[in-house]
Amino acid sequence: MNVEDIKIVGIVGAGVMGNGIAQVFARNGYEVILVDISEKILEKALENIKTGPYGLKKLVEKGKMSEEEMENCMKRIKTSTSYESLKNVDFLIEAVPENLDLKRRIFAELDRICKKDTIFASNTSGIMISSIATAVERKERFIGMHWFNPAQVMRLIEVVRGALTSEETFQITMEISKKLGKIPIPANDAPGFFTTRFINSWLMEAIRLYEANVAGIKEIDEMCKLAFGFPMGPFELMDLIGLDTVLHIAEYMFEETKEAHYAPPVTLKKLVLSGYLGDKRLKFGSKGGWYDFFQIKR
Ligand code: NAD
């Protein structure tokens, strides 16, 4: 099998990451089947692909895509609430919430449904690929394909081999990433890989400094942008990622490493428990993010 054999791509989970990933594949000519648990979520995902902050309509407005191309791109994306619809996909990416048991359950089912040679990729932010792969027979065809948010814009894909991932699976994943206009960089399998391990410490530290009353939320965001040239501050970045996702990652990182600087501070937990899951435009069902919870003017 080589990268040219991949024509149909399945995506499980149509949330913040899944709909962006679907958009990138469809824009590059792939047939996409996008699966989630409810029609309502899938409708919202399609709406986001078309008219969201990083959607196709923006490209039409900028003259980078014609109306006709946009409509053709939308037609390449089919949606479904059934895993059975994924039985003929050549490449599958999972983008469901950051929870090992959930991911293992889904992959075990997909392992029975999908063709034997379908490559399975997880977009997990940091759960070890080798541990998710224990759910499937096809461990040599299982890999980590870690996209960044917004998937339509960010160019890096962190490609993570599990203990038993084959060279062919690795090469195809690297090649397909390049075909999408992305820059794939390999990292080794460890909790958080490189990128999540690195950024999680910074994000948790920003919350701890806020809790210690060293500076306010808006002030920390502004200082990071002005002092370090960050495109957005840590609180803005958490709102973009999704606060439940940030919390799940921090809990997992702490559980695996027992290093205190990865642990989630209590203020983050409070927001998630109150339904503040991040940017309302991107996160289905969220009441808002840090700025909304604390009623801070932007
Ligand atoms: P999200 O909560 O926005 O979306 C997850 C989607 O999965 C939801 O729409 C949910 O309904 C769906 N889902 C839940 N259970 C399902 C099931 N059994 N079958 C099918 N769909 C199901 O989460 P997200 O931010 O898109 O994150 C998805 C994955 O990508 C996580 O592993 C996360 O760590 C990772 N990731 C997130 C980011 C980010 O910035 N948000 C970046 C890189 C990687």
* Dmax (CA) of the chain: 56
The pLDDT, as a whole number, for residue 12 is: 99
* pTM exceeds 0.85, yes or no: yes
Which pLDDT value is given to residue 258? 97
Residues 6+ apart with CB under 8 A from 65: 56, 59, 73
Question: Does residue 106 carry a pLDDT above 90?
Answer: yes
**Mean pLDDT of the residues in the chain:** 97
Tens of pLDDT, residue by residue over 57-86, are 999 999 999 999 999 999 999 999 999 999
CA 214 to ligand 1 center in whole angstroms = 33
Domain presence at residue 293: no
> Are 245 and 173 in a shared domain?
no
Reference 162, options 143, 177, 134; nearest CA is: 143
Q: What are phi and psi of 289, to 5 degrees?
A: -120, -155
Q: 156-161 and 142-146: which strand pairing?
A: antiparallel
Q: Give the separation between CA 29 and CA 237, rounded to whole angstroms.
A: 30
Q: Would you say residue 160 has pLDDT above 90?
A: yes
C-beta of 93 in contact with ligand 1 (< 6 A): no
User: With a 6 A CB cut-off, is 253 part of the ligand 1 pocket?
Assistant: no
Q: Which 3 state secondary structure label does DSSP give 295? A: coil
User: Looking at residues 29-56, what average pLDDT do you find?
Assistant: 97
Q: Is the same domain home to 130 and 246?
A: no
Task: Please count the structural domains in the chain.
Answer: 2
At residue 161, the pLDDT reads 98
Q: Is the CB of 125 under 6 A from ligand 1?
A: yes
**CB burial class (10 A; 0-12, 13-18, 19+) of residue 209?**
middle
Residues 157 and 221 in one domain: no
210 and 279 in a single domain? The answer is: yes
28: nearest Cα among 52, 56, 54, 48:
56
Q: Which domain holds residue 53?
A: 3-188
Question: What angle separates helix 217-228 from helix 234-241, to the nearest 10 degrees?
Answer: 110
Q: Is a pLDDT exceeding 90 seen at residue 282?
A: no
Q: Is 297 inside a domain boundary?
A: no
pLDDT for position 115? 98
Please indicate whether residue 129, judged by its CB atom, sits closer than 6 Å to ligand 1. no
CB of 129 closer than 8 Å to CB of 160: yes
Task: Judge if 213 and 262 occupy the same domain.
Answer: yes
Residue whose pair of structure tokens reads 């699976």 in the numeric block: 169
Q: Tell me, yes or no, whether 173 and 204 share the same domain.
A: no
How far, in Å, are 47, 209, 210 from residue 267 at the CA level? 32, 11, 10
pLDDT of residue 251: 97
Residue 288 falls in which region: left (phi positive, over 0), alpha (psi -120 to 50) or beta = left
The last residue of one of the domains, among 188, 207, 236, is 188
| Element containing residue 65 per DSSP (H, E) | none
Residue 11 forms beta bridges with which residues?
34, 93
Does the beta carbon of 12 lie inside 6 Å of ligand 1?
yes
Q: Residue 139 — very low, low, confident or very high, per pLDDT cuts 50/70/90?
A: very high
Binned at pLDDT 50, 70 and 90, residue 220 comes out as: very high
- C-alpha 201/C-alpha 209 separation (Å) is 12
- Give yes or no for residue 10 having a pLDDT over 90: yes
Residue 281's pLDDT is 87
Q: 17 alpha carbon to ligand 1 midpoint, in Å?
A: 6
Q: Is the CB of 11 under 6 A from ligand 1?
A: no
CATH number (domain holding residue 71)? 3.40.50.720
Instruction: Classify the C-alpha dihedral 42-55-228-177 as positive or negative.
Output: positive
Q: Let me know: does 252 contact 127? Beta carbons within 8 Å.
A: yes
Q: Please check whether residue 295 lies inside any domain of the structure.
A: no
Does 229 score more than 90 pLDDT?
Answer: yes
Strands (E), the chain: 8-12, 31-35, 77-80, 91-94, 119-122, 142-146, 156-161, 183-187
Listed residue (93, 123, 101, 92) closest to 195, CA to CA: 123
Percent above pLDDT 70 for the chain? 100
Q: Which of 188, 211, 232 is the last residue of a domain?
A: 188
Which of these, 58, 116, 50, 49, lies nearest to 88 by C-alpha position? 116
β-pair type (8-12, 142-146): unpaired
Q: Residue 257 maps to which CATH number?
A: 1.10.1040.10
* pLDDT (0 to 100) of residue 193: 97
The residue among 188, 219, 242 that closes a domain is: 188
pLDDT of residue 234: 98
User: What's the pLDDT at 286?
Assistant: 96
Minimum CA distance residue for ligand 1 atom 8: 15
Helices 16-27 and 67-75 meet at what angle, rounded to 10?
120
